[in-house]
Amino acid sequence: MAATGIDDARAGLLSLLVQREAGATICPSEVARLITAEGAATHWREAMPLVHAAVDGLIADGLVRLSWKGQDMPTRSGPYRIRVAQMASDGLQVGSRSIHSRPSRASSETGEKRSRPEPG
């Protein structure tokens, strides 16, 4: 996926978050690497401003929260990690797409079924 804009960064960020266990975080550089095509002239670091802008928008929308070393951060400042904001038990609706939290490994070991995002 080649970085073309903030919408790609936003979609990539949300895509990575739905693949993680509930409460897990992602690094903004993971999003930049995802949206930058392999072998492209653009290096993933050049996509970071798009990722930061997408993060700022998702924070404003109340969809994600930031932290660093276990401490919540109200805004971007220095290094940070991204996680889904608190979700209702039935998941989070993002546009026409639902995001459902994935159970932790402990709940997976007890036999609970994993929630999967609906195709969108």
- Over residues 31-43, the mean pLDDT reads 81
Please report, for residues 12, 25, 26, 64, 83, the alpha-carbon distance to residue 18 in angstroms, rounded to integers and kept in the order given.
10, 10, 11, 12, 10
Note the pLDDT tens digit of each residue in 59-110: 999 999 999 999 999 999 999 999 999 754 455 544 444 555 444 444 344 3
pLDDT at 91: 55
More confident residue, 2 or 56: 56
Q: Taking Cα atoms as reference points, which of 63, 65, 28, 18 lies closest to residue 49?
A: 28
Pick the CATH number of 6-88 from 3.30.2130.10, 1.10.10.10, 3.90.1530.10, 1.20.210.10: 1.10.10.10
Type of residue numbered 98:
S
Reported as half-sphere exposure (CB side, CA atoms, 13 A), residue 18 has a value of 20
Q: Give dist(CA 118, CA 98) in Å, integer.
A: 6
Identify any residues that bridge with 94 across adjacent strands, giving them in sequence order: 97
pLDDT at 39: 64
Domain ranges for the chain, please list them: 6-88
Note the pLDDT tens digit of each residue in 39-62: 666 789 999 999 999 999 999 999
Instruction: Indicate yes or no: pTM above 0.75.
Output: no
Type of residue numbered 99:
I
